[in-house]
Structure 1
Amino acid sequence: MTAATSGKRRQGPRKGDLREKAILDAAEELLGREGVELMTVESIAKGAGISRASLYFYFGSKLEVLTALVGRTVDALAAQAEVAEAADESVEDVVRASVRHTANSWREHGLVMRAAVDLTPVTPAIRGLWTGTVNRYAAAMTEVLARAGVPDPAVAEALCWMTERTFYWASVNGDDLDRTADICAQIWCATIRGNN
């Protein structure tokens, strides 16, 4: 009798899910060592501990692996946007916390996020994932800013794209991400105060 016929649910992740995670983890690690250009399907498969043929069971190309890796990362970012929108703290505190979360995301997944920005002009699937995430943040922050009397969605959108680009360049240049977060938060808060 199988788990399906006995009414019991399988505990833990499926083997395929673990392999897919290993592939994405290997690709993220390779971004740091080889970069997008030098990374190959072969090097990703080797890093995941599987054969190249096995990798093709899950992904059809290196670009599909990178797209899934960006997707995994932006899922975590989208969850942060929902937290910001639901927070009941002061608007400036929500802004500061959101920018700190952004800094932490760039610290933890900066290589993936930089690759996403770099691949956006040439990869429609990644462009959709990345711009969708920034737009989701802008929508959440529009709600937050509206509580402070700044209802224009264009303000939140401009500030979100400014923040994205500022962190991108800080990550590229190896700048202090905490200082970058402080500067971005100051700009957000100055905008809020200037509109009241």
Structure 2
Amino acid sequence: MTTETTTPVRRRGGPTKGDQREAQILEAARGLLGDRSVNDLTVDAIAKAAGVTRTAFYFYFPTKHAVVAAMLDGLWEEFGATHAWLSSTGPDVAGLREHHRQTAAVWHEHREILTCTMGPVGYEPLVEWVEKARSRYDDALTAKIQRDREAGLAPGGVDAAVLADMVSDLRTARFRLMARSSGAQLDKALDELTEVVLRMIYGEAPHA
């Protein structure tokens, strides 16, 4: 009878060289988006900023658009993690303030890619991602407004979907400004945004 021996599988103890190289490329693209649009981004510029050859770039990403898509994939989850307030009941002032703080933190960390989504964009997957992210927030806020109105916790008035769309416009504009704010300036901006959103939805700004 023979006895089979199995060589144990070696577990990865941390990021591989490939993981690190991919992260370098993503970070380089983020930096470049700080002063140019997605349309002006080139593979050559990304490769140079990442310190890799054009050939090495194509080993990890087939196109510059694939780099942008990789950055957006993570953002979808990060924004979703900030949405707890949207399932709450009533104003929940503290919850809304925390929701805004978390969202501002995502904008601060990823301001380059998010800022480039604000202007005219010719890259269709990016346009679709922005529309999907906007719809996810607007639909959830519309549902919350309707629930709170039915429970007598918010006044009637402007159609819930229209109101949610207006709140969304305000938030996007303010978070773009907050992306480069910190300390007391950021705290003040978060307080102001929270108060205005509460007034828009509930007719007043309830105390926490």
User: Fold-level match, TM-score > 0.5?
Assistant: yes
Change (3 A) 1:129 1:63: same
Distance in 2 (CA, whole Å) between partners of 1:87 and 1:95 is: 9
Q: Which has the higher helix share?
A: 1
Deviation at 1:113, TM superposition (A): 0.6
Tell me the TM-score normalised to structure 2 length: 0.70
Distance in 1 (CA, whole Å) between partners of 2:161 and 2:93 is: 17
Q: Matched residue of 1:129: which SS?
A: helix
Amino acid at match of 1:110: R
Deviation at 1:158, TM superposition (A): 2.7
Tell me the TM-score normalised to structure 1 length: 0.74
Change (3 A) 1:86 1:162: same
- Give CA-to-partner distance per residue, 1:93-125, whole Å, 9 cap, x none: 222221222222222221211012225x42210
Q: Identify the residue that residue 194 of structure 1 maps to in structure 2.
A: 203
Amino acid at match of 1:194: G
Higher mean alpha-carbon deviation, 40-49 vs 18-27, is at: 40-49
| Contact kept? 2:108, 2:179, Cα under 8 Å | no
Q: Identify the residue that residue 161 of structure 1 maps to in structure 2.
A: 169
Root-mean-square deviation (CA), in Å?
3.5
How do residues 133-148 of structure 1 correspond to structure 2 at under 5 angstroms? 133-146=133-146, 148=148
| Contact kept? 1:142, 1:153, Cα under 8 Å | yes
Distance in 2 (CA, whole Å) between partners of 1:147 and 1:92 is: 17
Greater RCO structure (CA 8 Å; 6+ sep): 2
Identical counterparts, % of pairs: 28
Q: Identify the residue that residue 71 of structure 2 maps to in structure 1.
A: 69
Distance in 1 (CA, whole Å) between partners of 2:190 and 2:43 is: 35
Q: Identify the residue that residue 192 of structure 2 maps to in structure 1.
A: 183
Amino acid at match of 2:123: T
Q: Identify the residue that residue 98 of structure 2 maps to in structure 1.
A: 97
Amino acid at match of 1:72: G
Change (3 A) 1:93 1:109: same
Change (3 A) 1:131 1:139: same
